[in-house]
Amino acid sequence: MKGMNRKKGLTLVIIGAVLWGISGTVSQKLFQQYHVNVNGLVTIRLLVAGVLLLGMQSFRSTRSHVFGVWRNKWSALRLVIFGLLGMLAVQYTYMASIKHGNAAVATLLQYLAPVMIILYLLLRRQTVFSRHDAVTVLLALMGCFLLLTNGSVSNLSVPPVAVVWGLLSGLALAFYTLYSVPLLAQFDSQVIVGWAMIIGGVALSLIHPPWQIDFSSFSPLAYMYLLFVIVFGTMIAFWFYIESLQSLSPKETSLFSSLEPLAAVLTTVFWLKEPFGIFQWGGTLCIFGMILLLAFQKKPSSKAEKVVETNYNEKSDVG
């Protein structure tokens, strides 16, 4: 029985990570071919996925958490801030980076968040700079340089605006990770993420109401792409990841979740035919090396490493 549960957990985390990665590439398809507005896609994605997650949670043993998070003023205020500056910021900046660049670069830039957390805690003097931190930062910087320049400092492989949005996505994910820790310690992660999605979606609806989205140019295939991004690339991907934690260790789930950027890179290159130079592949390997280094690290000794580990153990849908 234990072996069967482990196989189930491995299957769930692999499918969830791959769905996360592919959803970014499918979003790029919607932007490029169907000229979908970033605001509209993020709004619909957050609202629908958030409602579905909370709906699923209402059938679980911890269903009391669905509204319990609002009974305390502290947790309610923190949840609103998390929904606006965490969830909405991560989703919007990530999608904007894809819109102006491509899913591969956007996903890899977002995975720089652990390095940003380490640097933030160093500036706050809450940790010391270890050899492990040095290697992690070095791999991230080298990977970022090769990925964005493709070996030539005279021009970027993607437009500068895509780089800015991608780095902001990593920064938003770093905030998302640090700020969510007290909430995740008190309430079910599915509840926190579900409400955060709804809060972010409602806030963005005030700027870009979903009923004003023009679907006239959508073909049946475009609707299938949209459905995939919302249901499979958001709600199911997150649900599978959380379920995998029931039979796998956090280290194992964090390791297999690194399939997300791999799926994004491969589908961007081979499905959308985006050019990817030899130096960009080298940069991709550096960032994967950073991810694997974090996944295989020994028991965290510093606060920076503990927070970074939390980032991978409590990963929610940001991609």
Mean residue pLDDT of the chain comes to 84
Q: How far apart are CA 237 and CA 234, in angstroms?
A: 5
Say whether pLDDT at 281 is over 90: yes
Say whether pLDDT at 201 is over 90: yes
Q: What is the rounded average pLDDT of the residues 157-186? A: 90
Q: What confidence tens digit (pLDDT) does each residue in 66-96 have?
A: 898 899 899 999 999 999 999 999 999 999 9
Q: How far apart are CA 234 and CA 226, in angstroms?
A: 11
Confidence of residue 44 (pLDDT cuts 50, 70, 90): very high
Q: What per-residue confidence (pLDDT) applies to 299?
A: 55
Which amino acid type is present at position 38? Answer: V
Say whether pLDDT at 35 is over 70: yes
Query: 43 is written with which tokens?
Result: 């709004």
Dihedral angle computed from the Cα positions of residues 120, 42, 111 and 278, in that order, rounded to the nearest 10 degrees: -140
DSSP string over 240-285: HHHHHTTTS-HHHHHHHTTHHHHHHHHHHHHTS-----HHHHHHHH
Say whether pLDDT at 210 is over 90: no
User: With contact defined as beta carbons under 8 Å apart, do 49 and 230 qualify?
Assistant: yes
Query: 170 is written with which tokens?
Result: 């990593």
Q: What per-residue confidence (pLDDT) applies to 314?
A: 47
Q: What confidence tens digit (pLDDT) does each residue in 48-61 have?
A: 999 999 998 888 77
What are the residues whose beta carbons fall under 8 Å from the beta carbon of 87, sequence distance 6 or more? 46, 176, 193, 196, 197, 199, 200
Domain boundaries along the sequence of the chain: 2-313
Of the two residues 259 and 317, the one the predictor is more confident about is 259
Say whether pLDDT at 262 is over 60: yes
By percentage, how much of the chain surpasses pLDDT 70? 87
Q: What per-residue confidence (pLDDT) applies to 254?
A: 65
Q: What per-residue confidence (pLDDT) applies to 107?
A: 92
What are the residues whose beta carbons fall under 8 Å from the beta carbon of 319, sequence distance 6 or more? 20, 21, 23, 24, 94, 107, 110, 260, 264
Lowest-confidence pick of 120-129, 155-164, 189-198, 224-233 = 120-129
Q: What confidence tens digit (pLDDT) does each residue in 95-104 have?
A: 999 999 999 9
Say whether pLDDT at 3 is over 60: no
Q: What confidence tens digit (pLDDT) does each residue in 294-313 have?
A: 767 665 555 555 555 555 45
Q: What per-residue confidence (pLDDT) applies to 315?
A: 47
